Chain A
Amino acid sequence: MNKIYLWGIIVTVLMLVFTYIPLAISEGGLNDDIVNIITIAGAVALILITVLVVIKYVRQMQVDTATGELADENWDGIGKYKNSIPTGWAVAFLLTMVWGTWYMTIGYPVNSYSQIGEYNEDTEVHNAKYQAKYGDFTGDKLVEMGESIFLAECKVCHGINADGIDGKAADLNSRISAQTVKYVIEKGSDYQLIGSAMPMSDRNGLFNVNTGALITDAEIDIVSTFVANGMSGEGAEVYAGACAACHGADGKGMDYVAPNIATYTPALVVNILNFGKKGHMGVMPKFDRLNDKQKEAVGAYITSISK
């Protein structure tokens, strides 16, 4: 076999392998995505056409001889043949021109394509497909879905293990840190954590019924540790005296009064995603571009990983 054909085959096979690699790496390969399919087809066409055409001309270099009638003119020793235009080229050129004219004058207007229209259709199809699928997810399936959202959306701040990357964002493995509790007691909180506006007042409004006075620095420290420790250890009295009235004896919160500060609940997380919040670590942006099911799913996931 001629070396050129061999090279053609080698190049083609290699490039096809290179085109296949992305399919293998990316989740789900072509994924039923028409764009993926057209792209791969385009890449393959690019390889095949180039290799075939180049081989054709290289063969002519190898076996043909230059012929034709030379024109009279000559520049710096360079002549030119009066050969006519290669037929294949001329035909291809004509065809693309005809196609282009047809497309611009008839195909495109009749089609009345609009990229936003296409987007709307795609989105509708997508939503319908997945709503049908995850509409009645519960339990583990929901947690799994939540994890996938967490890894795509939240890990840049909370870290891949949801540990908050050295205090840069909240550590979601445990409900709350002592620092956060302390910060909230001192500064108050106003982030619709129970879904509606009901701010927690700052320390100047926090009254300890046991002592009959405003909460003190020492009490703040001790109760913060208590809450952060999962409602255990020293500080139970302060808690009972100053906080339980709203957050409940067990810290699990009360509807319409105060949020759960002992454990995460999906509802709490959903509220945080809807309204965002700001604390001593920084600002948690709201994520209202997630849909309800997605929010519920991350809520389930965070509830599942936190102690």
Chain B
Amino acid sequence: MFHWLEKHPFFFSVAVFLVISFAGLVEILPNFAQQSRPTIGTAPYSTLELAGRHVYIKNSCNACHSQLVRPFKSETDRYGHYSLSGEYAYDRPFLWGSKRTGPDLMRVGNYRTTDWHENHMKDPASVVPGSIMPAYRWMYINNTDINTAFAEQLTIAQFFSVPYNKPVPMKDGSSIIVKMGGSVAEANALALEEAKVIVADMKDQDVKDAVARGEIPEIVAIIAYMNSLK
């Protein structure tokens, strides 16, 4: 039969295709049916956090940092509770990474703070001697693209029913509402509100001034994102 296939390229190709698509059908489709639901306490990203996530992706932080705490004692000691599937329900794309040149950041919001990030991102080795992480000084100057983050919020709310402006249940029984603007102007205003909270804990005068002027440097967005990782 194989010999016959080798003389009939069309059927050969069909045979190869059937053989290689088999695994996908068995392994992937079932998991799609079983939608990954958010765990209680997992909320969608706010506008500024999402913009920060874009900064993270733009600079490929995921090349060095994972966001996946594996269920080992040594990892839960270092990073906190192991990851649960539902915690990633709003992660598009997922950012688990495949290399830990730097530590996991899945829950970094629990044990690092705005002021620390401010120092660290400017010059990692000054805070952590021996660090090989690059310094991200331009983030203190370049402004964040809030509009694209807003566009993404609109898209995921419309196509994937991500619950913006709706109550999201929290672990303690309460619920919170993650706001999304109704217009570009409103979205920018919301992001600026968030930014003000962050810069209140920062020291860099230029960044503070920028936010006072209504701009949002990338560093503010990425810190908002880091703080949201819990």
| Chain A window 223-257, contacts with chain B (Cβ cutoff 8 Å), 1 for yes, 0 for no | 00000000000000000000000000000000000
Whether B115 pairs with A116 at a CB distance below 8 angstroms is no
- Residues of A close to B112: CB separation below 8 A: 285
Complex alpha-carbon distance, A242 and B214, angstroms: 43
**Interface residue ranges of B106-141 to A (CB < 8 Å):** 110-116, 119, 126-129
**Interface residue ranges of A141-192 to B (CB < 8 Å):** 156-157, 160, 165, 168-169
**Neighbour of B128 across the interface among A115, A122, A156, CB < 8 A:** A156
Whether A282 pairs with B71 at a CB distance below 8 angstroms is no
**Neighbour of B71 across the interface among A118, A165, A169, CB < 8 A:** A118
Complex alpha-carbon distance, A287 and B113, angstroms: 12
- Residues of A close to B113: CB separation below 8 A: 282-285
For residue B228, give the distance in angstroms from its CB to the closest CB of chain A. 14
Whether A156 pairs with B127 at a CB distance below 8 angstroms is yes
For residue B123, give the distance in angstroms from its CB to the closest CB of chain A. 11
B56 located at the interface, meaning its Cβ lies under 8 Å from any Cβ of chain A in the complex: no
**Neighbour of A168 across the interface among B82, B114, B127, CB < 8 A:** B127
Complex alpha-carbon distance, A168 and B127, angstroms: 8
Q: Which residue on chain A has the smallest CB distance to residue B202?
A: A282
| Chain A window 265-307, contacts with chain B (Cβ cutoff 8 Å), 1 for yes, 0 for no | 0000000000000100111110101000000000000000000
Complex alpha-carbon distance, A281 and B113, angstroms: 11
For residue A158, give the distance in angstroms from its CB to the closest CB of chain B. 11
Q: Which residue on chain B has the smallest CB distance to residue A124?
A: B73
**Interface residue ranges of A76-128 to B (CB < 8 Å):** 115-116, 118-119, 122-123, 126
How many pairs, one residue from A and one from B, have CB atoms within 8 Å of each other in the complex?
A: 50
Size of the A side of the interface (Cβ < 8 Å), in residues, is 21
Whether B127 pairs with A282 at a CB distance below 8 angstroms is no
Whether B80 pairs with A282 at a CB distance below 8 angstroms is no
**Interface residue ranges of B60-96 to A (CB < 8 Å):** 71-73, 76-77, 80, 82
Query: Contacts A165-B127, A285-B113 given: A119-B80 contact, CB under 8 Å?
Result: no
Which 5 residue pairs across A and B have the least CB separation, nearest first? A282-B115, A119-B71, A283-B113, A285-B111, A126-B73
25 residue pairs from A and B, CB less than 8 Å apart: A116-B82, A119-B72, A119-B73, A119-B76, A122-B72, A123-B73, A126-B73, A157-B116, A160-B129, A165-B127, A168-B115, A168-B116, A168-B119, A168-B127, A278-B201, A282-B113, A282-B115, A282-B201, A283-B113, A283-B114, A283-B116, A285-B111, A285-B112, A289-B76, A289-B111
Q: Which residues of B contact A (CB under 8 A)?
A: 71-73, 76-77, 80, 82, 110-116, 119, 126-129, 201
Q: Which residues of A contact B (CB under 8 A)?
A: 115-116, 118-119, 122-123, 126, 156-157, 160, 165, 168-169, 278, 281-285, 287, 289
What 18 new A-B contacts, CB under 8 Å, besides A156-B116, A157-B116, A284-B113?
Answer: A115-B71, A119-B71, A119-B82, A122-B72, A157-B127, A160-B129, A165-B127, A168-B115, A168-B116, A169-B116, A282-B113, A282-B115, A282-B201, A283-B201, A285-B112, A285-B113, A289-B76, A289-B77
